[in-house]
Structure 1
């Protein structure tokens, strides 16, 4: 079979190689999956760079989120068991963690439902306790993680403010349903948020960016607000001023979604059931901006790493350069 392999760490476009490799053999408690669609996540770039919290042995195949097909024909979503990632024709996954793909979503959408939407659901509901009528601020609102949080926030009855970088991404955020869109390249984020909230600030802030975005968050979080730390796509990890959190009376919450797989896996299934219900009634629908042929995976991962994409980018085995499967 064909798979993208990383033999040394570096930028995705430089270190990902398309190779012929043996089909992986499932171990105890694992299943073989034929990949129908593999969604690109920022952690795939971090894996290539050797900067992710999990460092599989070299060589490995990146791709942490797929829609696949079991040997008995079931359509499922899963996180592949590294080093056998999803940018391959076949992968393996832990049987206990395989979930049924929602019927309301196609393969690319189903692949994109898992990490981003689970992270959003746990961040907004389990950690921050978002309530109807509250104001939610989402950084990188047009990206894969941010777009999921926007849709989940709207489904929960929140007023959603989306912060984006550029006019094109601002258009995407509006289409996603943001009530207010702020282009950080053209506007003063702090002033715009205060104006939009009458000076009160945002009740919940969803931050997958870090760096300057976090500094802005601390200045616009409301009384008893909650800042949810999801990641550091900017590459800069901030050092919060805890005296500021005390004086303004707000909470800083970390979210490591992967821990729930080991600490409380039943919650993963509960979340998936809620997400499936939301998808069935059209309240959420993953934004898949590109369907990329298998041979274009490395370049696509690099674009995600560079922050120039919107929504999710899906790699489709069997898709030709002309777009036909």
Structure 2
């Protein structure tokens, strides 16, 4: 097998494409032949030693991937050799083969392409947990999605529409706003050229959004939160812009609003049955055509460093997927 090995987490340049012995699965594990692996923001942080999870060295990055089960470890009952699976295990995906915990493998229904499957769990599970579980979003409510043209942003638009909500998508270019409209957003805000608070006010008749989905953080968090509706829910999904914002807590009092943390990894560990039920609903929505990952492009696995550079340029719309 071959894999991108991180022996020193100083950044993307330290990754090397190496030939390694193909491992054998232990109890509760499976060997997966990787067909596709998506590139997510945590995959950049983890090779820079900036992510909250710091795997022992050396490790193979690639948190999310899809492929074919080639060997099954002892005690694994729900997966068979030859089965198609998607997995979000945190590491191991940027390779030709990887060992995956069987419990974290999602069996793929027939006709679910590997590229879509590799771009599925992280963004849709996060957005489903955020909007359906944590925000208790209801039909007819209004959702503001920040960073709406990215991976989680595009999934949030689709899930909010599947629930029956109105979606305002905020992104940094007219091209990204057009993409958001094409996948169901009811209105868009280009926050490079428009004043965010004024645009929100105009689009909600002064009421503000019931739910704000924020995977960006940084400078937009406070103006967005100041615009939230009475009893609004502000979803803290991530900090793609870098800085972690500080919000004046008196605003929660004045707005009767909630600041709600969204950490799908913790949810999946603490509440595995609820997480599995959410994934099953998402697979059903995919089969019904309600949700479909937006794929920016696919690239050969060996061009991973170029893919990281493209992601770093903030030019990605949807998901980047590496293929073997």
- Per the TM superposition, whether the score is higher than 0.5 is yes
Q: Secondary structure at the match of 1:52?
A: coil
* Contact 1:81–1:92 (Cα < 8 Å) also in 2: no
Q: Does 1:51 align with 2:58?
A: no
**Aligned to 1:223, what secondary structure does the other structure show?**
coil
Point out where structure 1 has 5 or more consecutive residues left out of the alignment. Answer: 318-325
Equivalent residues of 1:105, 1:285 under 8 A apart: no
For structure 2, the residue ranges without an aligned partner over 5 or more in a row are 71-80
The answer for the alignment partner of 2:205 in structure 1 is 198
Equivalent position of 2:235 in the other structure? 228
1:263 pairs with one of 247, 259, 270: 270
CA-atom RMSD in angstroms? 1.2
SS in structure 1 of the partner of residue 259 of structure 2: strand
Whether contact under 8 Å (1:226, 1:250) holds in the other structure is yes
1:104 positional shift = 4.8
Alignment of 1:19-58 (within 5 A): 19-58=18-57
1-side partners of 2:218 and 2:109: how far apart?
Answer: 35
Find 1:139's aligned residue among 136, 146, 150.
146
Tell me, yes or no, if the aligned pair for 1:104 and 1:280 is still in contact at 8 Å.
Answer: no
Deviation of 1:215 after TM superposition, in Å, equals 1.2
CA distance in 2 between partners of 1:104 and 1:178 (Å): 27
Matched residue count: 314
Normalising by structure 1, we get a TM-score of 0.94
In the alignment, is the contact (CA less than 8 A) between 1:104 and 1:279 conserved in 2?
no
Q: Secondary structure at the match of 1:99?
A: strand
Write the deviation string for residues 142-192 of structure 1: whole angstroms up to 9, x where unpaired.
Answer: 100100000001111111000001122122111111111111111111111
Residue pair 2:297, 2:321 contacting (<8 A) in 1 also:
yes
**3-state DSSP class of the match of 1:105?**
coil
Contact 2:62 2:90 survives alignment (8 Å): no
* 1:199-226 C-alpha deviation (Å, 9 max, x unpaired): 0000001000001121122121100000
Moved more, 298-307 or 15-24: 298-307
1:289/1:103 CA distance change after superposition, 3 Å: farther
Matched residue, 2:74 = none
TM-score w.r.t. length of structure 2 = 0.94
Query: Match for 2:259 among 230, 252, 260?
Result: 252
Which structure has more relative contact order (CA 8 Å, sep 6+)? It is 1
Contact 2:89 2:104 in 1 (8 A): no
Matches within 5 A, 1:83-122: 85-122=92-129
Whether 1:299 and 2:302 are equivalent positions in the alignment is no
| SS of match in other structure, 1:222 | coil
Stretches of 4+ aligned residues off by more than 4 angstroms:
none
**Alpha carbons 1:11, 1:302 under 8 Å: kept:** no
Alignment-derived partner of residue 2 in structure 1: 2
Shift of 1:59: 1.9
Please state how far the C-alpha of 1:239 moved relative to its aligned partner: 1.6
Aligned partners of 1:260, 1:243: CA distance in 2, in Å? 28
CA–CA separation in structure 1 for the residues paired with 2:123 and 2:233: 19
Are the aligned partners of 2:148 and 2:180 in contact in 1 as well (CA < 8 Å)? yes
Partner of 2:73: none
